[in-house]
Amino acid sequence: MEFKLGELFCGPGGLALGAMRASARRYGETYSISHAWANDFDSDSCETYRHNISPHSPSSVICRDVQKLDFSSLSPIDALAFGFPCNDFSVVGEKKGMNGVYGPLYEYGVQALKYFRPQWFFAENVGGLRSANDGRAFQIILEELSQAGFIISPHLYRFEEYGVPQARHRIIIIGIRSDIATEFKVPAPMPILGSPRTSREALEEPPIPHDALNNERTKQSPQVVERLKHIKPGENAFTASLPPRLKINTKGANISQIYKRLDPDRPSYTVTGSGGGGTHVYHWIEDRALTNRERARLQTFPDDFVFKGAKESVRKQIGMALPPLGAQVIFESILKCFAGMEYPEVAPNISFRGRVIPGRRTQLKLLEKENAYRESL
Same domain, 277 and 345: no
Same domain, 237 and 286: yes
Supply the pLDDT for residue 251: 62
> Which residue, of 290, 305, 340, is where some domain finishes?
290
Same domain, 183 and 243: no
Q: Is the pTM of this model over 0.85?
A: yes
Same domain, 31 and 159: yes
Q: Distance between CA 41 and CA 275 in Å, rounded? A: 21
Same domain, 59 and 91: yes
pLDDT: is 336 or 87 the higher one? 336
Each residue's pLDDT tens digit, 110-151: 999 999 999 999 999 866 666 655 667 788 888 889 999 999
- % of the chain beyond a pLDDT of 70: 82
> How buried is 206 (Cβ within 10 angstroms: 0-12 exposed, 13-18 middle, 19+ buried)?
exposed
Query: Residue 91 falls within a domain, yes or no?
Result: yes
Same domain, 126 and 221: no
- Given a cut of 80, whether residue 32 has pLDDT beyond it is yes
Residue 38 dihedral angles phi and psi, to the nearest 5°: -150, 155
pLDDT: is 70 or 276 the higher one? 70
CB 268 within 8 A of CB 299: no
- Given a cut of 90, whether residue 153 has pLDDT beyond it is yes
Supply the pLDDT for residue 154: 94
Each residue's pLDDT tens digit, 173-228: 999 999 999 999 999 997 654 668 999 999 999 999 999 999 999 889 999 999 99
Mean pLDDT of the chain: 86
Q: Distance between CA 141 and CA 133 in Å, rounded? A: 12
- Given a cut of 70, whether residue 102 has pLDDT beyond it is no
Structural domain total, the chain: 2
Instruction: Give the residue numbers spanning the domain of 353.
Output: 2-195+323-376
Query: Residue 297 falls within a domain, yes or no?
Result: no
CA distances from 124 to 81, 242, 309, 321 (A): 8, 39, 25, 10
Query: Residue 76 falls within a domain, yes or no?
Result: yes
Same domain, 27 and 101: yes
Concatenated DSSP letters of 40-106: ES-HHHHHHHHHHT-TT-GGGEEES-GGG--GGGSPP-SEEEE----TTT-SSS---GGGSSSGGGH
> Which residue, of 241, 265, 290, is where some domain finishes?
290
Same domain, 22 and 132: yes
Same domain, 13 and 114: yes
Categorize the per-residue pLDDT at 278 as very low, low, confident or very high, splitting at 50, 70 and 90.
Answer: confident
Q: Which of 7-11, 161-165, 273-277 has the weakest average pLDDT?
A: 273-277
Mean of the pLDDT values across residues 353-377? 46
Q: Distance between CA 261 and CA 289 in Å, rounded? A: 9
- What CATH number is associated with residue 147? 3.40.50.150
Of these residues, 10, 46, 63, 86, which one is catalytic?
86
Supply the pLDDT for residue 203: 97
Each residue's pLDDT tens digit, 169-186: 999 999 999 999 999 999
With the C-alpha atoms ordered 332, 333, 334, 335, is the resulting torsion angle positive or negative? positive
Categorize the per-residue pLDDT at 364 as very low, low, confident or very high, splitting at 50, 70 and 90.
Answer: very low
Mean of the pLDDT values across residues 345-358? 70
- Whether 337 sits among the annotated catalytic residues: the reply is no
CB 294 within 8 A of CB 284: no
Hey, what amino acid is at 115?
Y
CB 5 within 8 A of CB 334: no
Gap between the terminal Cα atoms of the chain: 42
Same domain, 174 and 253: no
Supply the pLDDT for residue 191: 63
Supply the pLDDT for residue 303: 97
